[in-house]
Amino acid sequence: MSMELEIKEITAAQTWAIRHKVMWPNEPLSYVKIPDDDKGQHLGLFIGEQLTSVISLFMDADKNVQFRKFATVKSEQGKGYGSILLKEVIKVAKERGASLLWCNARATATVLYEREGLHQTDSSFVRKGILFVRMECPL
């Protein structure tokens, strides 16, 4: 029996537990909260009733959409849910009239983003020992 998959808008607070557990488990929960969370659009991928993958979108005045805090529950990684959610993000960004979609990707995750049409730029930085690379895709 396959569980129903649904992507819907969620609150910032609904993203925090997954962000924390997946991305920065050794930091306090406050570490995964973004000052602009209340201004973002947050999407969640549900398998049945279970929130499995989360992502947050922020559009600037120049119509550039940054996605942040993209995380999938560890036990569900590698099953394609992240790709499904990222495809939805691209669609939503286009619908909102965005001209560019971008993110600061963990260097270990660039393949997923490249599969969906984003490319690495020369911009990178290290946070708490983890290398991040700016990736973008004109829309």
Full-model pTM = 0.90
The pLDDT-based confidence of 2 (bands split at 50, 70, 90) is: low
User: What's the CA gap between 21 and 33, in Å, rounded?
Assistant: 13
Of 131, 5, 10, 132, the C-alpha closest to 66 is 132
User: What's the CA gap between 132 and 69, in Å, rounded?
Assistant: 12
Locus of tokens 């996605």: 67
Domains detected in the chain: 5-103 (3.40.630.30)
The arithmetic mean of pLDDT across residues 64-89, rounded, is: 94
Per-residue pLDDT tens over the stretch 42-68: 999 999 999 999 999 999 999 999 999
The arithmetic mean of pLDDT across residues 7-31, rounded, is: 95
| 42 token code pair | 């947050």
User: H/E element holding 126?
Assistant: strand 119-127
pLDDT of residue 3: 78
Residue type, 81: Y
pLDDT of residue 137: 96
The arithmetic mean of pLDDT across residues 85-99, rounded, is: 95
